[in-house]
Amino acid sequence: MKKAELVLIPAPAVGHLVSILEFAKRLIDRDHRISFTILAIKSAFPSSSDSYIRSVIASQPRIKLIDVPQVDPPAKELLRSPVKYFSTYIQSHTPHVNNIISDIISSNNSDNSNRVVGLVVDFFCVSMVDVAQQLNLPSYLFMTSNAGGLSLMLYLPILHDQKLDAEIYYRDHDLVVPGIAKSIPPNVLPSAFTDGGYADYIEIARKFREARGIIVNTFEELEPFAVNWLSSGPAQAPLVYTVGPVLDLQGGSKAHTSLDQDDHDKIIHWLDDQPPLSVVFLCFGSMGSFDEAQVKEIAFGLERSEQRFLWSLRVQQYPKEGDPVGLFLPDGFLERIKGRGMVCGWAPQVEVLAHKSTGGFVSHCGWNSILESLWNGVPIVTWPLYAEQPMNAFRMARELGMAEELRVDYRRGGNVGDLVMADEIEKAVRDVMEKESEVRKKVKEMGELARKAVMEGGSSFNSTGRFIEDMIGKE
């Protein structure tokens, strides 16, 4: 049969790019018929996502890149709702995307080469489903979050239509969602529920049901309750494929960081000198930073915990000159923790979590970070900052029992004076480093299941096979 070409439209954010491009690479390795064309939408804000895409395609001859012409960003007033701003920006690219894909189809027909078999789009690019419909192509959403988050997106429009005051009601009442075993308190719901983006969130969620299928970066063994509900076929819901963990285990995504080789080697060599499972790693993602007051509380908590630590520190108010680490940390801190702790800027998270000395992870609970920690059997301390991270933290700590809870409802830029205090941090760090804790045992077991899931015969391996078969058929 002809080669099958998929058009891939990722969201222009590194946290979304990594998993969707790693999935594309996995499909290419799995089936010789498949190739990809990436339509790269440039970010409306300064971003290194473009360099990451180019680093991937440089090593993948069956992935080619087409830059989508840039459009003007939306009006700044829309920034009051990040969901509205981002969805409007992505949607404004649809005429260009339609033209590009039409040209690809025409070119393929003229030289009788590949046939375009569908669009795979990041779930935040769900407006591109309209393009697929206009061109009579099937569309597949790629969910960089989890099955519980997908359950919420599929159920929310139904609930909204049943309860006309849902936006107001769920500011004060727990939300019961099929697919999530515990009711969700208002303070951990996605930010759109409180930042004015609720109506836009609902509209995005409605579009989910127009896709032919939804690919989710999770695995059955991790979220059996959610996967069982999704598999039971919610009314008019698309087919769901659980294909995770999809991870950049080779660290290729570090191409988007500012970490030079000397800094990288310094971190790894320091870890090499530490005893096994003795280091707690603190890292809060590409957008994770704190103000001066919170930085000092973290420092005091780490110092009092008496645990070894590696802290990837980013401060919100960087000075124009001088050393930001020395400026914002408590007086004498670096001298007092010398030999026991290390403070750095960027850190190679994948390598750190895989290192034998790493025994715990204080994390913002982004889904990629959670999967990386599970893969390596490293238990998490929950410290979410924004978006869906509080719900991830809530589910990991209270529903799945695979994280130590520091906070599940923290939001960066929330209530003035809402500091996480040093004594809380000290306790959480001590708890996560407990060698025989129940959480550690569960995480280690789940890490083993994660590796089996993507191996031949595993749940995610089989689900990926079903996706290929549903999309282009058997060989």
DSSP character for 205? H
279, β-bridge pairs: 308, 358
Give SS3 for 16: helix
pLDDT given at position 255: 47
pLDDT given at position 256: 44
**Distance, CA of 454 to CA of 438 (rounded, Å):** 25
Per the CB < 8 A criterion, the answer to whether 358 and 366 are in contact is: no
- pTM for the model stands at 0.93
Per the CB < 8 A criterion, the answer to whether 350 and 419 are in contact is: no
**Please, where in the chain does CATH 3.40.50.2000 lie?**
4-249+453-472, 259-450
pLDDT given at position 319: 47
CA nearest to 43, candidates 18, 68, 70, 12: 12
Question: Which CATH entry fits the domain spanning 4-249+453-472: 1.20.1540.10, 3.30.390.10, 3.40.50.2000, 3.40.1280.10?
Answer: 3.40.50.2000
Which residue do the tokens 């520190």 mark?
A: 313
Which residue do the tokens 């419909």 mark?
A: 133
365, β-bridge pairs: none
Q: What is the DSSP string of 277-305?
A: T-EEEEE--TT--B-HHHHHHHHHHHHHH
Q: What is the CA radius of gyration of the chain?
A: 22
**Distance, CA of 94 to CA of 74 (rounded, Å):** 14
pLDDT given at position 251: 63
pLDDT given at position 321: 44
Q: What is the DSSP string of 103-152?
A: HHHHHHHHHT--EEEEEEEEGGGGGGHHHHHHTT--EEEEESS-HHHHHH
The length of the chain is 475
Phi, psi of 445 (to 5 degrees): -65, -40
Question: What type of residue is 396?
Answer: M
**Distance, CA of 83 to CA of 88 (rounded, Å):** 8
DSSP character for 175? B
204: its two tokens:
């995005």
Mean pLDDT by 10 residues, the chain (475 residues): 88 86 94 94 72 78 93 86 88 96 87 84 95 97 96 91 78 90 93 82 92 97 96 81 93 54 91 97 88 93 98 70 68 94 92 97 97 98 93 97 95 70 97 96 98 98 97 77
**Distance, CA of 317 to CA of 321 (rounded, Å):** 12
pLDDT given at position 349: 94
**Distance, CA of 443 to CA of 439 (rounded, Å):** 6
Which residue do the tokens 């009092």 mark?
A: 304
**Distance, CA of 284 to CA of 335 (rounded, Å):** 24
Give SS3 for 350: helix
Per the CB < 8 A criterion, the answer to whether 268 and 354 are in contact is: no
The angle that helices 82-91 and 198-208 make with each other, rounded to 10 degrees, is 50
| Cβ neighbours for 404, distance < 8 A, ≥ 6 positions apart | 379, 380, 381, 382, 397, 428, 431, 432, 437, 439
Per the CB < 8 A criterion, the answer to whether 373 and 443 are in contact is: yes
Task: For residue 392, give the H/E element and its range.
Answer: helix 389-394
pLDDT given at position 323: 53
Number of other residues whose CB lies within 10 A of the CB of residue 202: 19
User: Domain 259-450: what homologous superfamily?
Assistant: Glycogen Phosphorylase B; (3.40.50.2000)
pLDDT given at position 77: 84
Pairing of strands 279-283, 139-143: unpaired
CA nearest to 254, candidates 345, 185, 320, 341: 345
